Amino acid sequence: MKRKILAALLASTMVLSLVGCGGGSAETPAAPAADSGAATEEAAPAADSGDAAAEGAPAADASAAGGEETLTVWCWDPAFNLNAMYEAEKVYQKDHPNFKLNVVETPWDDIQTKVTTAATSGDLSTLPDIFLMQDNAFQKNVLAFPDVCMDLTNSGIDYSQFAAGKTAYSVIDGKNYGVPFDNGAVVACYRTDILEQAGLTIDDFTDITFDQYLENGKKVLEATGKPLISMQAGECDLIMMMLQSAGASLFNEDGTANITGNDTLRIVMETYKSLKDAGVLTEVNSWDEYVGDFVSGNVAGTINGCWIMASIQTAEDQKGNWAITNMPSLVGAANATNYSNNGGSSWAVTTKCANPDLACDFLKSTFAGSTELYDNILPSGALATWAPAGDSDAYATPNEFFGGDAVSAKIVDFATKVPTNITGAYYYEARNAVATAITNYINGADLESELQTAEQTINFNMQ
């Protein structure tokens, strides 16, 4: 299995080398939470730490680690991820005045390429001390390259304080390999002024099922001529959100595909088609069209990871006319909830970290332990999945754009209720297969045949 995963990663790396640095990736979700940007400098190689980063080694007090208190970090998006690291540096420096970070702006595609190259060459010294990894790529990377990421299970980080659904992305064989960062909890966002034309309020969309959502959507469509929602054709973001909301996955725990016998997936596909057939959901051809639909008022709302709120707020003339709540739940699905996740990333510490004790203590004291840090990065749109952050005054501040609601605290609460799922090593390949299946099903193909084809495609990729 490891060789198969490795081959898939190598293929992705070859594609990236053709499109150039900062280009798109076959493993990059259609709706990334942050812009990859472009690398601005070459990362300084991390020194070999020898046996200091032995798997599962507990992190000692950083003050006892000795040596230079400098860590190199790779991440993307200056306004979001890099800013968060700089703020974390300031917080940690209060008790560690000699501490410094060398934060290198590196697009996710480049990080994946560099990790693959280092691991396959056997030379991990080119890697940084800490890097950011997309959550849906964690399983594949740790399984393919078990020597790259440090086991953080005994690092002193209290993982019980993070949303379980978020933490699960970086847990492999019961061990923690990542520190959860940005929040991808799903929110349902609505134009309250449009809902009012149909005699509805945000309460009519809170804690509801998709059957109720469909009926509400018909009322809005009849009263205003506007669909409730649009999604990008050929993608399956909403499909995946609906699936996870019931704790279901495209893979079994043993890594095998879970498509043809997946009752929840079948319900998801049927629900999606019913929304599309009724005109409550409309499909567009590009991401720009998708964003343009809700910003311009062509649709009454959207359902996506909470990071979509940044795009919504670009329509300054709509301030006060938006509200958020939880997503609808699936009817007939076991373990159905009103909560899910889409997007996000987590911090990984490399096994060649120059000072693993320092790296663990830094992450434990900041991203896994500082309300001050999360308060400081909240204005940039970085919402925590670290539950204690939601209790701060900053998170309780009303957001006037969203009707004066304390949306930040609400989203952290949503995140704590997201069911876990199994991303598997072939997550993106499975997404693509299911996206093709839903497109064909909407266009009249037989659902069972499409699910069988999707599973055959995934099995072929895994072989």
Per-residue pLDDT of the chain (463 residues; tens, 9 = 90+): 544 554 445 444 433 333 332 233 333 333 333 333 333 333 333 333 333 333 343 443 444 344 569 999 999 988 889 999 999 999 999 999 999 999 999 999 999 999 999 999 999 999 999 999 999 899 889 999 999 999 999 999 999 999 888 999 999 999 999 999 988 999 999 999 999 999 999 999 999 999 999 999 999 999 999 999 999 999 899 999 999 999 999 999 888 999 999 999 999 999 999 999 999 999 999 999 999 999 999 999 999 999 899 889 989 999 999 999 999 999 999 999 999 999 889 999 999 999 999 999 999 999 999 999 999 999 877 888 899 998 999 999 999 999 999 999 999 999 999 999 988 889 989 999 999 999 999 999 999 999 999 999 999 988 8
pLDDT at position 5: 52
Structural element, H or E, at residue 165: helix 164-167
In terms of Cα–Cα distance, which of 389, 229, 414, 388 is closest to 305? 414
Tokens describing residue 387: 């539950």
Q: Would you tell me the crossing angle of helices 447-462 and 427-442 to the nearest 10 degrees?
A: 160
β-pair type (281-284, 229-232): parallel
Three-class SS of residue 436? helix
* Domain residue limits, the chain: 2-184+343-394, 189-340+422-462
Alpha carbons within 13 angstroms on the beta-carbon side of residue 62 total 24
Measure Cα distances from 228 to 191, 277, 330, 457 in Å: 9, 13, 17, 33
- The residue assigned the tokens 């970290």 is 353
pLDDT value at residue 201? 98
The domain 2-184+343-394 having CATH identifier 3.30.70.1140: the answer here is no
- The helix/strand/coil state of 180 is strand
- Both structure tokens of 127: 């890697």
Domains 2-184+343-394 and 189-340+422-462 belong to one CATH topology: yes
| CA gap 70, 171 in Å, rounded | 27
Q: Which CATH class is domain 189-340+422-462?
A: alpha beta
Q: Which residue is associated with the tokens 């020597």?
A: 147
Query: What six digits make up the tokens of 407?
Result: 């949306």
pTM of the model: 0.79
The pair phi, psi for residue 443, each rounded to 5°, is -85, 10
What is the three-class DSSP state of 252?
coil
